[in-house]
Amino acid sequence: MTNPLLASSGLPDYTAINPVLAEAAVRNQINDNRQALANLLTRGTPTFASFVVPFEAQQHRLNRVFAPLSHLNSVMSSDEVRAAHNSCLTLLTEYQTDIAQNSDLAEAYASILKQESDSLSVAQRRVIEHALTEFRLAGVNLPPATKMRFKEVMQELTALQAKFEEQVLDATQAWSLILDNAEQLRGLPEHVLVRSAALARERGHVGWVLTLDQPTYLAVITHGESRWLRETFYRAWVTRASDQTPSAPKFNNTNVMLDILKRRHEAAELLGFAHYADVSLATKMAPDATAVIKFLEELGTHYVPAARAELRALEAFAGQKLAAWDMPYYADKRLQAEHAVSEEALRPWFPLTTVLGGLFDIAHRLFGITITQKSEVAVWHPDARYYEVHAADHSVIGGFYTDLYARENKRGGAWMSEVVGRFNAGKERAYPVANLVCNFSPPSASAASLLTHRDVVTLFHEFGHTLHHLMTQVDYPSLAGINGVAWDAVELPSQLMENWAWEPSVLPLISGHIETGDPLPMDKLHALLGSRSFHAGLAAARQLEFAMIDFELHARRPPADDASLQQLIDGIRARVSAVQPPPYNRQAHSFTHIFSGGYAAGYYSYKWAEVLAADGFAAFTAAGVFDQRVAQRFLSEILSRGGVVNQMEAFIAFRGRQPDIAALLRQEGIAA
């Protein structure tokens, strides 16, 4: 039987993929890669064409073999998929560490840089320089015993990070609440009631079953009139995968977190760094840990006073002292009272199909691309779709899958991931393909999926990442799309894209009432726009809290135990949080961004990139949000360049100067 994942071209055949075949394909490709590298290293004098391009091809094939399995583990998790995925992670970590620690390979790259220095293109030179940095950060020059220990640490980290994410998913799915009293559900949106009643029938219960998926949690915490229900959900959410959880304590991530931090610190020391934050910053825009701390502290001088003033105003509105589980509920009430707008009330104007159509139209106006659904492409679930992207001359430049609804066995949150990277060198030709994943409320048998405006902004954000992947003109996969891009700049396209979801001229393009098709009325449009900076200080202070927790955990020796870990977190919250959480809050135990994602010692990059995005979008507002000159400059200097250029230099080339924090503070309604 032919293994579908070993096809060297085209899209993955998700209907033919099973975990056994996926694991076999990864093993097969790794073996092929090892043999191909051995052959390369025994040839004559290496050149970019004879050595680097074939090596890029090896890595490219392995990435496209593993990507579908990694994706299925996130969107269609099962015991079989998880087992195959984790087995492959072990193989990949061992292989990638072997590659990164291969001194012969590093010497070949260094030799090519020296011998062909005058003839290499800018992209080719950057491919080699990027690889040499990766070799150094993998310990290629370490003594043999130290190198071996580094390899062991990386394998242990891979397993720990996978376990962390699995336990967050398992803990989330292990919790549910069965209710048979309609009074306890007062205030919840109709779509939540319909879905929870259907789930109760499926599980053989009378009444409603509420689960801990993100749409349900947000609906309860924002609209539930029962304070008991809000606190119950809040406690379940912030204690997931911890020792404080009301259910499933077997998924406690405490020791996993401590072990991750210890392994990261050990890896940093093995490489000669003081702490893991220095390792992380070696490939970021921020020059050092001092610069990051200074950046976060400067933000704190603006955000913390604003957040605490907003809290005082909200408590005055509510007429009482507010707990953490009261904040979203009363914030929504105040938003309606002062701005005559409610996220839930706006849902009828944002059917998902209408929003998508408008989003694709925006991309066409800005960059001349056309996006067309291809129904014949095999997908993993009936909810999934595939879209092909065409340039102005009708040529195919890439494609992307969407999977936009929450369901069981699917990771929470929203993200973009790579399916295939762009490759255009030697005999290799591949256009970029991405996954765009969200967790919106799904349609029911009788109603379409309707989005809140917050959902719309999320969709625009992930589409910005998708454009970054698709619009690349870099021919080498290691630097194409978001690959090789400094992590504190990778959020620039996504956060900049969010701004179009707030533009008065754009909102009619992405809205249409589910019954009449009419765009968002002017009164609601102006109310929505007026609400943009509502509680901006509270939202920013929360992001600042997450960024500081992340950075302080990685910029010092790791905490020895749970008590010292929580002491560090509580100290940060005391400094920057407007609302002090209850003692049982263990939100860090489900902080997948830093413990199992790519944001370790890098969560600050959200605010860092927000500064870039706000200042960058100011160029559009000054010229017109669909101005072709600005759009083409953004495309040519940012979107298309991937990791080939220094990201600060790219921003300056686009904007004409260094970024200015004042643009973000103005956008958020916070005085500089």
Q: Inform me whether the pLDDT recorded for 444 exceeds 90.
A: no
User: Which has more pLDDT, 427 or 358?
Assistant: 358
Q: How is residue 512 written in tokens?
A: 């249409």
Same domain, 430 and 366: yes
Is residue 256 in a domain? no
Is residue 471 in a domain? yes
Is residue 582 in a domain? no
State pLDDT tens for residues 165-224: 999 999 999 999 999 999 999 999 999 999 999 999 999 999 999 999 999 999 999 999
Same domain, 216 and 132: no
Of 137, 164, 197, the residue that ends a domain is 137
Q: What is the pLDDT of residue 157?
A: 97
Q: What whole-number distance in Å separates Cα of residue 56 and Cα of residue 49?
A: 10
Q: Inform me whether the pLDDT recorded for 290 exceeds 70.
A: yes
Mark whether 225 is an active-site residue.
no
- Domains identified in the chain, total number: 3
Q: What is the pLDDT of residue 446?
A: 81
Is residue 121 in a domain? yes
Q: What whole-number distance in Å separates Cα of residue 256 and Cα of residue 159?
A: 10
Q: What whole-number distance in Å separates Cα of residue 276 and Cα of residue 556?
A: 8
| For range 80-89, the mean pLDDT | 96
State pLDDT tens for residues 482-492: 999 998 899 99
What Rg, from alpha-carbon coordinates, does the chain have?
25
Is residue 378 in a domain? yes
Is residue 24 in a domain? yes
| For range 385-405, the mean pLDDT | 97
Provide the 10 A C-beta neighbour count for residue 104: 12
Q: Inform me whether the pLDDT recorded for 2 exceeds 90.
A: no
Please tell me whether the overall predicted TM-score, pTM, comes out greater than 0.75 for this model: yes
- List Cβ neighbours of 427 (8 Å cut-off, separation of 6 or more): none
Q: Inform me whether the pLDDT recorded for 1 exceeds 60.
A: no
**Residue matched to tokens 């969200």:** 438
Same domain, 226 and 352: no
Same domain, 455 and 521: yes
Same domain, 133 and 182: no
State pLDDT tens for residues 592-638: 999 998 899 999 999 999 999 999 999 999 999 999 999 999 999 99
Q: What DSSP assignment string belongs to 519-563?
A: PPPHHHHHHHHHTTTTTHHHHHHHHHHHHHHHHHHHSSPPPSSHH
Q: What percent of the chain has pLDDT over 70?
A: 100
Q: Are 474 and 641 in contact (CB under 8 A)?
A: yes
Of 217, 251, 285, the residue that ends a domain is 251
Of 232, 251, 270, the residue that ends a domain is 251
Is residue 508 in a domain? yes
- For 512-527, b/e burial (b = at least 16 CB within 10 A) is beeeeeebbeeebbeb
Q: SS3 for 324?
A: coil
Confidence of residue 288 (pLDDT cuts 50, 70, 90): very high
Q: What is the pLDDT of residue 8?
A: 78
Q: What is the pLDDT of residue 249?
A: 84
Same domain, 428 and 365: yes
Q: Return the CATH number at 115.
A: 1.20.1050.40
Same domain, 370 and 487: yes
Q: Are 295 and 306 in contact (CB under 8 A)?
A: no
State pLDDT tens for residues 88-100: 999 999 999 999 9
State pLDDT tens for residues 15-42: 999 999 999 999 999 999 999 999 999 9
**Residue matched to tokens 């105003």:** 313
Same domain, 207 and 71: no
**Residue matched to tokens 């430049």:** 397
- List Cβ neighbours of 664 (8 Å cut-off, separation of 6 or more): 610, 611, 613, 614, 615
Same domain, 414 and 486: yes
Q: What whole-number distance in Å separates Cα of residue 147 and Cα of residue 86?
A: 23
Residue 574 burial by Cβ neighbours in a 10 Å radius (0-12, 13-18, 19+): exposed
| For range 561-583, the mean pLDDT | 95
Q: How is residue 278 written in tokens?
A: 């220095």
Catalytic site residue from 134, 310, 418, 462 = 462
State pLDDT tens for residues 449-469: 999 999 999 999 999 999 999
Q: What is the pLDDT of residue 3?
A: 85
Q: Inform me whether the pLDDT recorded for 277 exceeds 80.
A: yes
CA 544 distance to own-chain centroid: 17
State pLDDT tens for residues 104-129: 999 999 999 999 999 999 999 999 99
| For range 354-372, the mean pLDDT | 98
Q: What whole-number distance in Å separates Cα of residue 532 and Cα of residue 510?
A: 17
Q: How is residue 381 written in tokens?
A: 């679930």
- The chain-wide mean pLDDT, for the chain, equals 95
Is residue 433 in a domain? yes
* Residue 183 domain boundaries: 175-251
Same domain, 133 and 210: no
Same domain, 95 and 196: no
Q: Return the CATH number at 481.
A: 1.10.1370.40
| For range 403-409, the mean pLDDT | 95
- Rounded to 5 degrees, φ, ψ at 200 are -60, -45
Same domain, 53 and 198: no
